[in-house]
Amino acid sequence: MPKKISILMAAILLCVSLTGCTSMISLTDEEEEEIAIYTSSLISKYNRNQTNGLTYISEQRRLEIEELEASYHPEEGTEEEELTEDENLENSLDNPEDSLDENVGATVDDELRTDGSVNPTNTVEEVTGETITLTELVGKTGISVSYQGAAAATHYGSDGVFDLSPTKGYQFLVMNFQLKNTSSSAVPVDLSGLGFVFRATVDGVTARADQTILLDDLQTFEGSIPAGGTQNLVLLFQYPNSGLSDLSNLSLRVDQGGNTYTVVL
């Protein structure tokens, strides 16, 4: 037992004698900062996720950032304006019907349908406005215009080229007119650019003239009438099948250039 103790003590003394002893290295603040900068540069060089870590900012860069922050002055009211725009957008999404133009689709009923018929537009209106003759309305020197009567029809054909049919449950009111050249030479006539909008009224019910592709449509006629010659034109309106039993109280008015006139027939 004493032998074992002696061996143990000898081993301890040997370890102590082989152990080096030295004092701790003392660093200044500048030296510690240099070591920290060098260490961070090595980490930044080999760190693939640098955007997610810390980035060293030099003193010059820090001053530049402070100058930018000091010079930034957002316009007053910008945040409030953006908030108002967002609220308006949210309201329009919640209530889409409120943002629609009330007049959208107002002229759809007057378009020519692909099957050759047209959609009717009927309203109950009171006939008003200044009176005007057809000749005054056309306003072409050497051309007189006269009304040639009206009739109900289930369809209308023009020179065997076009054959139009009204909407189901409706019939055409065909109003006939004649242009006459009273001069001694041919007179060119172009009514397509005059912007006529005709409305017929029968028994208090008003219908707007159909927009057609007829060559003899009074609203869109283009052509030359020879000296002493005539040209027959028409206007087509749509009324319910039972709405044209009496045409004795038929009246016509026209809108042009913001004015409304009652046409003398």
- CATH number of the domain residue 183 falls in: 2.60.40
H helices then E strands: how many in the chain?
5, 13
Is residue 19 included in any domain, yes or no? no
- Beta partners for residue 156, in sequence order: 164
Is residue 165 included in any domain, yes or no? yes
Is residue 234 included in any domain, yes or no? yes
Is residue 235 included in any domain, yes or no? yes
Is residue 157 included in any domain, yes or no? yes
Q: Which domain holds residue 209?
A: 122-264
Tokens for 62, please give them: 């820090």
Is residue 176 included in any domain, yes or no? yes
Is residue 243 included in any domain, yes or no? yes
- What is the pLDDT at residue 16? 53
| Mean pLDDT per 10-residue segment, the chain (265 residues) | 56 56 68 72 57 60 77 58 55 47 36 46 58 95 97 84 87 97 96 94 94 93 96 97 89 93 95
- What is the pLDDT at residue 134? 96
Instruction: Provide the whole-model pTM.
Output: 0.54
**Considering Cα of 166, then 209, then 180, then 186, what sign does the dihedral take?**
negative
- What is the pLDDT at residue 5? 54
Is residue 207 included in any domain, yes or no? yes
> Residue 166 and residue 119: Cα distance in Å, rounded?
7
Residue 142 is classified by DSSP as T
- For the chain, the domain total comes to 1
- Cα end-to-end distance, the chain, whole Å: 148
- What is the pLDDT at residue 59? 72
- What is the pLDDT at residue 115? 42
